Amino acid sequence: MKKLPPVERLLWREKYFGVPRWIVGGVLVGVIACLALLRNQVTTSDRVRAIVEGFRHSSVYVEPGAPGTVNADRVRQVLGDRPIVVAILSDDPYPATDAAGGPGQQFCADVARLVPTNIVIVYGNEPEDGYNPSFCVGPRFTNEEHPVTGANFDFVLIAKAETAWKYRASPTDLTPQVEEYVLAFDAQAAKDYPDTVPRRGAVPDELATGEVVLALGGIVAACVAVFFLLHVVALGIGRRTPRTRTRLATGARLSRIGEYVMSADPRRAKQAEVARKYVLALQDHESGANVERQVDELERLIR
């Protein structure tokens, strides 16, 4: 038989450190998936997350410490149920960025990515321009149900609104900026939506779903890590300590329970309790204790 190269021999091993290959593969796939999801979660800043969560309850989010230059109540009244949301931030400057359009526009785009069917207006402190609004159109504002030209509601519309608000807005009252933009929006919507104007879209549950998945993934990953490490330690101890038939049989039963813990749905009833008792039984078993009763109880729980 032809001898396989070292890399292929490593990949085709039945076990790694005594752990079945399918378990090791499952752990690797789970880690990669969790890292991919975590990367998406990390890119959403706490500030953006707070704004989006605020939009679940209102069309206007007011950050603690926001100056009184924008009347939030008046803005809510003006917006109604139009697909427009407004975030009124504090004087804290935006995080620095090299993105085109500056930090304010990038921050607005980060928010719009999470409320994709809406137009987003963010009032914040630009490092060079001071406290001003940034406007952006969500990536799904134009969609199958409401196919329009998104550019009609972007720079062109802002320019029309700005022509009107420059006579009304002042450094101490920026509310007319929203009022004039909404008037311009209505005029453009009457042209682009001859039948029906879209209403404000609901905030997707992506953030909450991601957190739940990460939490469940963390529980499973912790159990897997403990199982894997204890299994490796057990192999080291086993090379130095003689094992009786009873201990070998108990170890085999624990291995079968471990395979169940790894493959079972973490949301299943009593699954967390089974995982906890399994880890404790495995620890006691590797320390030399008699765990027959604990194993019997675990086997009853997983039937």
Q: Is 85 helix (H, G, I), strand (E, B) or coil?
A: strand
Give the whole-angstrom CA distance, residue 301 versus residue 299. Answer: 5
User: Cα–Cα–Cα angle for 121, 126, 132, nearest 5°?
Assistant: 45
Among the ranges given (44-58, 80-94, 266-280), the one the predictor scored with the smallest mean pLDDT: 266-280
39 vs 229, more confident: 229
- How far, rounded to the nearest angstrom, does the alpha carbon of residue 94 sit from its chain's CA centroid? 22
pLDDT band at 229 (very low <50, low <70, confident <90, very high): low
Count CA atoms closer than 13 A to 144's CA, side-chain side: 0
Q: Give first-to-last CA distance, the chain, whole Å.
A: 44
What is the per-residue pLDDT for 41?
A: 44
Strand locations in 72-194, DSSP E?
Answer: 84-93, 119-126, 130-137
CB atoms near residue 278 (< 10 Å): 23
Q: What amino acid occupies position 253? A: R
What is the per-residue pLDDT for 190?
A: 87
Residue 61 has phi, psi (to 5 degrees) of: -110, 130
Domain boundaries, the chain: 6-39+206-301, 57-192
Give the whole-angstrom CA distance, residue 133 versus residue 67. Answer: 13
Judged by phi (left if over 0) then psi (alpha if -120 to 50, else beta), residue 15 lies in beta
Q: What amino acid occupies position 160? A: K
pLDDT band at 50 (very low <50, low <70, confident <90, very high): very high
pLDDT 10s digits, 169-219: 999 999 999 999 999 999 998 888 877 777 887 777 655 444 444 445 555
pLDDT band at 266 (very low <50, low <70, confident <90, very high): low
Tell me how far CA of residue 133 lies from CA of 51, 96, 104, 108, 141, in angstroms. Answer: 15, 17, 8, 9, 19
Tell me how far CA of residue 89 lies from CA of 60, 61, 73, 83, 247, in angstroms. Answer: 11, 8, 15, 20, 64
Sign of the Cα pseudo-torsion (188, 190, 194, 197, in order): positive
> Mean pLDDT over residues 281-298, rounded?
84
Q: Which residue has the tokens 């030209």?
A: 149
What is the per-residue pLDDT for 52?
A: 94
pTM equals 0.57
Task: Decide yes or no: CATH 2.70.98 for domain 57-192.
Answer: no
pLDDT 10s digits, 118-160: 999 999 998 888 899 999 999 988 887 777 877 888 888 999 9
CB distance 221 to 228 below 8 Å: no
What is the per-residue pLDDT for 73?
A: 96
